[in-house]
Amino acid sequence: PLTEFWHANKFISQKDSAIYLIGGYGQLHYKNLVQRYDIPQRKWEIVTPKGDHLPPHYLGAAGANSAGDTAFLLGGYGSNTGDQMVNPRYYYDLFAYSVKDQRFKTIYHLKEPDKQFCFANSLIIDDKARQYYGLVFPNDRFNSTLQLIRGSLTSPEYELLGDTIPYLFYDVRSFADLYYSPIGKKLVAVTFYTNKENRTDVRIYSIAFPPYAVSPVVGATGSSTPWWGYALAMVALGGLTWFMFGRRKKVIAPSVAVKESVAVSVDGESGMVEPVTVSQPAPPPAPVARIFFFGPFEVVDKAGNDLTKLFTPLLKELFLLIAMYSIRSGKGISSEKLYATLWRDKSSKDAQNNRSVNMVKLKAILDRLGTCGIVKEADKWVFLYTPEEISIDLARFYSLLNGQHAPDKAHIRQLLQIVHRGSLLPDTSYDWLDDIQSEISGKVLDALSAALTPFAADAELLLEVAGGIFLFDPINEEALRVKCRSLSMLGRHSMAKAAFEKFTREYHQMYGEEFQQSFQEIIA
């Protein structure tokens, strides 16, 4: 359910036996509200703090000292007004909050890094050393990483500790936190990622305490090199790793390009992963920008910079409306439908003003991709772009489906390259999008199902096709038969049985009854 306070910071105060919640994000607004829950009285109240102004934000970190009378808040992303649409920015201030005085005090401001980052939810405070431990991560990409840092509570400096932790970051669908176990003498990091079906992936990592540093101290008096620069430098020390790193740098493409070259089939809880090589055409002579509609929405420029975070919720929906209607029909979307979808509660004049303001913001983002733009043709808004400069998976999908030649293996594998990221915008929910998502899912299933018979002798290809079908229809019985039989033909009997058991569990969960066929009947 929607909430007003995603990613709110929290701490427990032994001083007054209360739980405090600070800041957060919800309903398109950043918060700086201080909420207090009196545990003995079982009563909530809003605290009006004194002292320095705490800007509305989320994705910051907070932690209390051992006495519980002082909390420290560091960093975050927000805006001075709290409005998501008005000048959002990163913050690197360290505040101290006095429980007794109900007062915020600014301690210092970290030097702004070359590449911005946010914080996992908690800080671990070391009272004796006057230090803190926290996790930072770049929030402009889905496949992000958490990096442990140690900083001073008195001066603007910090250092990197240990190795990076993988983190699937997708705004309010993700969450990361840090804890300290005094008994185990370990720091424990926990990450969450919740998909559209409200299934949450939970991962737990630990590191012995105190951890080792991997870089010099950085900050106001140290090097201005961003923390991931040191991480790359450490990786580059290995001979073989350096060789691989050098080869990767020759290909100027975003990280998601790796996803396009390899499809991975995971057999549920068995933990067995089967890599499947997917052939693809030779790389283009020049790097291209990329827009992904299959799987999480993602926009990457020619240099590999992830621009997805620049799309506010309104800009994202505005772009998706125009781009998807343009790609599907080539005609775009009318002003009337645009206004009725995005600004139905506003007058015609106000809707036009809102459209004009947001078109300017959207143009600033699209200009970073290459030759593209949104133009008005008759009464339709149309997204135009140059395919040689910008690759759009949905446009390539329609091109493959509309081809006049009979599908061959190369054709099917190109289709699999596109759809293996997932269904169409699985983490996006708009009323107008439901029918389009159903239409695309039907087209994918029809195309892949049609490939099962002509290539019945190619077990490896059939595995890829079945995996693609399961992404759009997890209880497709024909795909189950094909997958189990193909795995058995390849001698992977335990994987076939694991795939069958996973299917029967999901079948029972969806229909409330047992799947009627046995494993032997499926592979017969």
Q: Does 11 have pLDDT greater than 70?
A: yes
17: left (phi over 0), alpha (psi -120 to 50) or beta: left
475 contact partners, CB below 8 Å, separation of at least 6: 503, 506, 507, 510
For residue 135, what are its two tokens? Answer: 């996790």
What count of other Cβ atoms lies within 10 Å of the Cβ of residue 361?
15
Neighbours of 227 (CB within 10 A): 20
User: Are the CB atoms for 77 and 88 separated by under 8 Å?
Assistant: yes
Please say whether the beta carbons of 34 and 49 come within 8 A. Answer: yes
CA–CA separation, 436 and 434 (whole Å): 5
Element of type H or E holding 349: helix 348-366
Name residue, tokens 């030649």: 405
Q: CB 140: neighbour CB atoms within 10 A?
A: 17
Locate 344 and state its tokens.
């139905």
**281, 305, 283, 306: which is closest to 296 by C-alpha?**
306
Q: Pick the residue with more confidence: 459 or 293?
A: 293
Q: What is the mean pLDDT of residues 86-95?
A: 89
Strands (E) in 153-199, as ranges, are 157-168, 174-181, 186-194
**pLDDT computed for residue 78 by the predictor:** 92
Distance in angstroms (rounded) separating the CA atoms of residues 108 and 156: 6
Match 């829950």 to its residue by tokens: 37
Phi, psi of 337 (to 5 degrees): -70, -35
Q: Is the pLDDT of residue 219 over 60?
A: no
Residue pair 212/161 in contact (Cβ under 8 Å)? The answer is yes
319: part of which helix (H) or strand (E)? helix 313-329
Is pLDDT above 60 for 267? no
Interatomic CA distance for residues 396 and 394, integer angstroms: 5
Over 50: is that where the pLDDT of 233 sits? no
List Cα–Cα distances, 480 to 20, 272, 500, 503, 511, in angstroms: 50, 17, 7, 8, 17
pLDDT of 420 > 50? The answer is yes
Contacts of 378 (CB under 8 A, 6+ apart): none
Check if the beta carbon of residue 52 is closer than 8 Å to that of residue 102: no
pLDDT single digits (tens) 381-415: 999 988 888 999 999 998 888 765 566 788 888 88
Tokens of 400: 């493959």
pTM for the whole structure: 0.46
Q: Express each pLDDT in 423-461 by its tens digit.
A: 899 888 898 999 999 999 999 998 888 888 777 777 888
Enumerate the β-bridge partners of residue 150.
133, 159
Which residues are CB-neighbours of 89 under 8 A, at least 6 positions away? 77, 78, 79
**111, 128, 23, 116: which is closest to 66 by C-alpha?**
128
| Share above pLDDT 70 across residues of the chain, in percent, rounded to a whole number | 84
At 138, list the tokens: 């770049």
CB 461 within 8 A of CB 412: yes
